Amino acid sequence: MGLPVTVYRSTDAGAPVGTAANPLDWITILKKCLVEGYGDKSPLGWTLEFENAATYAAVFRNNPLVGSGGYFQIASSNGTNGTNVSIDLSVAKGMTDVGVYIDKIVQRRLSLYQARTNGWVVFGTSRGFWMIQNSSELTWSTSTGYSSGCWSVFVGDIETFDPNDTSPFTLVHGVAGTSDSTSSAYSDNIGSTIDVVAIMYPAAGGTGRYEHRVNMGPYSAGSGDINPGGILATNLPMVFTPAILLRGTATSPPASIVVSDDLPYSRGVIPALYLASMQGGRTNTGFEHTFNSVLYRVVQGFRTNALWLKMEGEWYA
């Protein structure tokens, strides 16, 4: 039996923050969505493990009874709460305090850009969730400037193909490599790059962190859109393919990668993330649309739209 998805939006009654302009805004949003709830919405069932109010940092953990018990830290990039100060997201197998990691997985930095963002969305379960910062533009794909503060990030357990996987916890972002990122740009964000990357430990445990990527295949178009308004006007059905994480790096194609039970070529799927059968839609307005009676949200960014998030149903079935 799967875990039902709950969706939280900045437009909800009782939502804690309208537009996130500083690190504390996002910490407050995640406290409410993951741990406390607000209005008529219950929390996802994560726990707040540690917090340092002076440096604007908080650590959350997913439910170890149903999930991996992985740890997630959100923190101000410079220890202050100024407007548009970037945030650092870090994930690890364990933590004993703010900034103290056991088997750290990776850190990624995200921009906050109050003048060009408008609201937020968080949705997920007690094992994993997406956090999304909306662009204030109405079009699905945006300019590079608007895309700097427009991002979609997954934190939590993937839906692994291995029922004995000891390390399904990760952060899904657009930056490749196992090094922590200490800068942020529009071109790092999913939706503005063809890369969808998760850094993970081997399935059976042990040392070493490895890249896993979604094979975008033909979805490589840049800012040009040969089908700007055709997605909603077409007579063809929209078909969605789950985003499968495959072993690989930018410099090492699959043929040269050693695979094993610990490091299978196909690791699992990213909850809610799908590749669409049709690209395009740059001139269409709005982010959420219904296909075959199911609500999806486009992954907004500078590149031509190819990725969508399924906003309802169950994960980890």
DSSP string, 139-208: BSB--HHHHTT-EEEEEEE-EES-TT-S--EEEEES--SSSPP----GGGSTTSSS--EEEE--TT--S-
Task: Give whole-number Cα distances, 204 to 58, 134, 161, 209, in Å.
Answer: 29, 37, 13, 12
Predicted confidence at residue 67, as pLDDT, reads 97
Predicted confidence at residue 102, as pLDDT, reads 97
Which residue do the tokens 């994930």 mark?
91
Predicted confidence at residue 202, as pLDDT, reads 94
Predicted confidence at residue 255, as pLDDT, reads 58
Q: Which stretches of the chain score pLDDT less than 50?
A: none
Beta carbons within 8 Å of 66's beta carbon, 6+ residues apart = 3, 126, 127, 316
Angle at 155 between CA 208 and CA 109, to 5 degrees: 80
pLDDT for 188-210, tens place per residue? 999 998 889 999 999 988 889 99
SS3 24: helix
Predicted TM-score of the model (pTM): 0.95
Closest-CA residue to 74 (of 93, 63, 55, 88):
88
